[in-house]
Amino acid sequence: MTKTYQLTGTNITLEDVANIANARPGEVKLEIHPDALAKMNKSRQVVLDIVKKGKPVYGINTGFGALASKQIANEDLEQLQYNLIRSHCTGVGKAFSREVTRAIMLSRANCLIQGFSGVSPEIIQLLLEFINHNLNPVIPEKGSVGASG
């Protein structure tokens, strides 16, 4: 029987994380709770409004680190995001286990579901679908930098 979890960003326990991480295909289904989805959509709209107005905001339409004061043109924002992903996807060492990988993905999704990051709900839905369908990326134990958001 499939157990469904509607994630709000604050309602899962460590026991839930362990159960989901260790679940076999078809045993769990993860969804975004409608209230959390509304909060995420509202947060996403804030980001879109910032971009539309051209107001410089770190992490949205500026460079990073030493380039924080450099505003990025709207037509270059997609490339900025690709470059950011590429700069973070370096790692070495043994890959995390399936269970640890699932716990990492769940924890990341659960954090972003809180609606404070302005991330597109479709991205989180895709992450949850990876977990739901037992699609687990290879994540090296040692990475280049931490994640924010």
**What's the pLDDT at 59?**
81
Considering the chain, what percentage of its residues have pLDDT values greater than 90? 73
Q: Does the residue 86 lie in any domain? A: no
What are the pLDDT digits (tens) for 78-97?
A: 998 888 888 877 888 999 99
Q: Does the residue 33 lie in any domain? A: yes
What are the pLDDT digits (tens) for 38-53?
A: 999 999 999 999 989 9
Q: Does the residue 32 lie in any domain? A: yes
Residue 125 sits at the vertex; the CA angle it makes with 120 and 130, to the nearest 5 degrees, is 130
What rounded mean pLDDT belongs to the chain?
A: 92
Read off the CATH number of the domain in which 25 is found: 1.10.275.10
Q: Does the residue 90 lie in any domain? A: no
Q: Does the residue 116 lie in any domain? A: yes
Phi, psi (degrees; rounded to nearest 5) at 5: -115, 125
Q: Which active-site residues does the annotation give?
A: 58
Look at the chain and report how many structural domains it folds into.
1
Residue range 96-103: mean pLDDT, rounded: 97
**What's the pLDDT at 148?**
53
The whole-angstrom separation of Cα 34 and Cα 79 is: 31
Q: Does the residue 87 lie in any domain? A: no
Domain that holds residue 8: 3-53+95-143
Q: Does the residue 134 lie in any domain? A: yes
The whole-angstrom separation of Cα 113 and Cα 125 is: 10
Residue range 60-64: mean pLDDT, rounded: 89
Q: Does the residue 89 lie in any domain? A: no
